[in-house]
Amino acid sequence: MQPTDINKQPRRLTWQLDQEEESRTQFNQAVRGWVCNPHVRDLGEDLHVAIYDNGCSTGLNFLVQLKSTTDWRSHLKKGGTLSYPLFVKDLTHWADTVPPVVLVLWDTTENRGFWQDIPTILGELEARGTTWQKRHSATVRIPMEHCFDGPGKAALRERIAVLSLPTISAGKELVIKPTFSFPDTLEGQASRLALIRAYEEGTTVTIGKEYISKFEMSPWWERIFGASIPDSVTIEPGNWNEVVRLNLTAIGSGQVEIVPLELQIEQAGTQLMVMSNQTSESLFRVRVTLDKRQETVDVSISYRLPSQRVLDSLQATRLLLVMARGGSLSLAPANGEVRSDCDLGLSKLPSPELLQKWLQLLTMLAEVQPRISRFGQFVLTDRFTDTDFRNAEKVYAMCTHASWGGTMHFSLLASAPPAISAFEPDEDGKSTVSIEFDPFGDVVLFGVRIPMGRVRVEFPDSTKAAEGARKAAAENSCKVHIDDGPVTLRFLEWAAPLTGPALSTEERKRSNRERLGVLLGDEDKTG
């Protein structure tokens, strides 16, 4: 079925005009109490309707595109909907029309009609795809329940009110005043207590229609939607955006450590308030419950160590160490006195020895982090090994003093068996042996690979080195092994204000190989 274009169709017959007039008359009777006036037909809308409520204007208006038929069942489809074809150009014209346009299919034989608003029709067409806009006409759907009996007219008024709400509500405040009445029954008193508890504790409660004696809303709202009592009223707490700033303070012998906290209000009523920082990244999880009825303040504190942020972990470790050594813990407003009326003791604290080790490690990491940041950020875990600690000491020494002393295993490949005298100490007992490596290699510390660059290795005590040289000479070997030999590493590219090598270890090795190839000539590059 194709729609008819009133601008192109031949002159209509008398029976067609009579049918249209009959449908208009019947529609006017169906919406009796509302004011219907003819609209400019050349623009495609047939009627202008103003909605009234018991003789009072609601301020709601809509336009009607009236389609007449003598058999509504011929438009009935599966699923309980009616279909009707409309020109796409008319649909696009009605898309932005104010007041909204309502399509009405009216059966003059049975004196009944069905409606659907154009914004809903357009939404359904868009949900099916956008190809309808490229066609000449589109088939639209009208629900059978959208008729013109009491519920159908109420639904039409509500739909027009919803479509008009953005314009009508602009700059207006909506006030809701429910009044409840609870009978002296088990169910009634249970609902009354649930309502009291919701106000006191800031929780959600739903009250059924049987306990709603009155329900008032702002006059402008009741004008467009009408006054009515809903099936139920649900009261929910508001969204709290306030931040409560507290200080977690540990006080020990000659030491005070403070960790600032920001708690969000989770629940607040007239008698109970709950706030916590459960969604924050703080190492300390704090939950505070204030109950006026019981005159109690309940505080629960837990912690996790470490954090991904070194400075946060360092701050938390200092506080925990004070506690592990017998200090007291307090929680108070950031701008108030450090005092507490409740027990805030943390249970299952690590040993002071372990916390002291953490403190030393984190102090070194905090010191070196700015200088090595271009190589990455530390990824801390809940445990560290002796190797982690030694590597941290090495990087700390490299960044602060550009040198490190310790013991290392060495395997050196010389061009010829070494001369033992080269490793012997001088007259003052000092070694004159040093070896320069470029590059020396990397040190990996909590996920960050840090190139050490050019390093000079010095042997302050050459005993171990001499032992390795003697053994190599005895075996006529070019390979010298030095086991647990004391060494001093001089980091030649980390002395302040230097911040490490410009190239990574692999890039430096590749550069060295290329440079060596140029020096030796093409025939020796594989040597």
Q: Give the Cα separation of 524 and 285 in Å (integer).
A: 65
pLDDT of residue 421 exceeding 70, the answer is: no
Among 75-79, 341-345, 357-361, where is mean pLDDT lowest? Answer: 341-345
The reply to whether omega before 306 is within 30° of 0 (cis) is yes
Q: Does some domain include residue 306? A: yes
Among 325-329, 332-336, 399-403, 512-516, where is mean pLDDT lowest? Answer: 512-516
* Relative orientation angle of helices 386-400 and 352-372, to the nearest 10 degrees: 40
CATH number of the domain encompassing residue 71: 3.40.1350
Give the CA distances from residue 203 to residues 176, 266, 288, 294, in Å, rounded to whole numbers and listed in that order: 19, 10, 17, 18
pLDDT of residue 427 exceeding 80, the answer is: no
Q: Does some domain include residue 343? A: yes
C-alpha closest to that of 288 among 337, 247, 302, 297: 297
Residue that is last in its domain, among 130, 147, 168: 168
- 217 with 329, same domain: the answer is no
pLDDT (average), residues 44-55:
92
Q: Phi and psi dihedrals of 106, rounded to 5?
A: -115, 130
Own/partner pairs, 9-17, CB within 8 angstroms, 24+ separation: none
- Tell me the HSE value of 298 on the side-chain side, using a 13 A CA sphere: 8
pLDDT for the residue numbered 74:
93
Band of residue 416 on the pLDDT scale cut at 50, 70, 90: low
262-309 per-position pLDDT tens digit: 999 999 999 999 999 988 888 899 999 999 999 988 888 888 888 878
Q: Give the Cα separation of 442 and 214 in Å (integer).
A: 77
- 164 with 306, same domain: the answer is no
Give the CA distances from residue 467 to residues 407, 422, 427, 428, in Å, rounded to whole numbers and listed in that order: 15, 12, 18, 19
Higher per-residue confidence, 524 vs 491: 491
pLDDT (average), residues 378-396:
91
What's the whole-number average pLDDT of the chain? 86
The reply to whether omega before 439 is within 30° of 0 (cis) is yes
pLDDT of residue 83 exceeding 90, the answer is: yes
- 186 with 318, same domain: the answer is no
Amino acid making up residue 215: F
pLDDT (average), residues 419-448:
75
Token digits of residue 427? 């007259």
Give the CA distances from residue 126 to residues 61, 122, 400, 481, in Å, rounded to whole numbers and listed in that order: 25, 6, 67, 79
Q: Give the Cα separation of 60 and 223 in Å (integer).
A: 9
Q: Does some domain include residue 369? A: no
pLDDT for the residue numbered 431:
58
pLDDT (average), residues 208-219:
96
Per-position DSSP letters for 462-498, written without gaps between them: THHHHHHHHHHHHTT-SEEEEEEEEEEEEETTTSTT-
31, 49 Cβ separation under 8 angstroms: yes
pLDDT (average), residues 199-223:
96
Band of residue 423 on the pLDDT scale cut at 50, 70, 90: low
pLDDT of residue 216 exceeding 90, the answer is: yes
Q: Phi and psi dihedrals of 88, rounded to 5?
A: -65, -40
Higher per-residue confidence, 238 vs 515: 238
Residue that is last in its domain, among 358, 374, 399: 358
pLDDT of residue 79 exceeding 90, the answer is: no
452, 491 Cβ separation under 8 angstroms: yes
Is residue 484 classed exposed, middle or buried when 0-12, 13-18 and 19+ CB atoms within 10 A define those classes? exposed
- 185 with 53, same domain: the answer is no
- 152 with 76, same domain: the answer is yes
Q: Give the Cα separation of 139 and 87 in Å (integer).
A: 9
- 399 with 315, same domain: the answer is no
Q: Does some domain include residue 364? A: no
- 24 with 82, same domain: the answer is yes
pLDDT for the residue numbered 521:
43
Is residue 85 classed exposed, middle or buried when 0-12, 13-18 and 19+ CB atoms within 10 A define those classes? middle
- 459 with 500, same domain: the answer is yes
SS3 assignment, position 37: strand
Q: Does some domain include residue 84? A: yes
Token digits of residue 309? 């942020």
pLDDT for the residue numbered 409:
78
- 293 with 406, same domain: the answer is no
pLDDT of residue 482 exceeding 80, the answer is: no
- What is the span of the domain harbouring residue 487? 385-524
- 74 with 112, same domain: the answer is yes
pLDDT of residue 13 exceeding 70, the answer is: no
Q: Does some domain include residue 474? A: yes
List of residues 6+ apart from 327 with CB closer than 8 A: 250, 251, 252, 253, 255
Band of residue 388 on the pLDDT scale cut at 50, 70, 90: very high
- 275 with 343, same domain: the answer is yes
Q: Does some domain include residue 480? A: yes
Region for 394 from its dihedrals, namely left if φ exceeds 0, alpha if ψ lies in -120 to 50, beta otherwise = alpha
pLDDT of residue 58 exceeding 50, the answer is: yes
Q: How far apart are the first and last CA of the chain?
A: 89
Token digits of residue 154? 């109420």
DSSP symbol at 521: -
Q: Give the Cα separation of 508 and 501 in Å (integer).
A: 9
- 417 with 399, same domain: the answer is yes
DSSP symbol at 270: S
Q: Give the Cα separation of 353 and 477 in Å (integer).
A: 47
471, 437 Cβ separation under 8 angstroms: no
Q: Does some domain include residue 5? A: no
Q: Work out how many domains the chain is built from and give that number.
A: 4
454-479 per-position pLDDT tens digit: 888 887 777 777 777 778 777 777 77
pLDDT for the residue numbered 382:
82
pLDDT (average), residues 413-422:
63
Q: Give the Cα separation of 470 and 452 in Å (integer).
A: 30
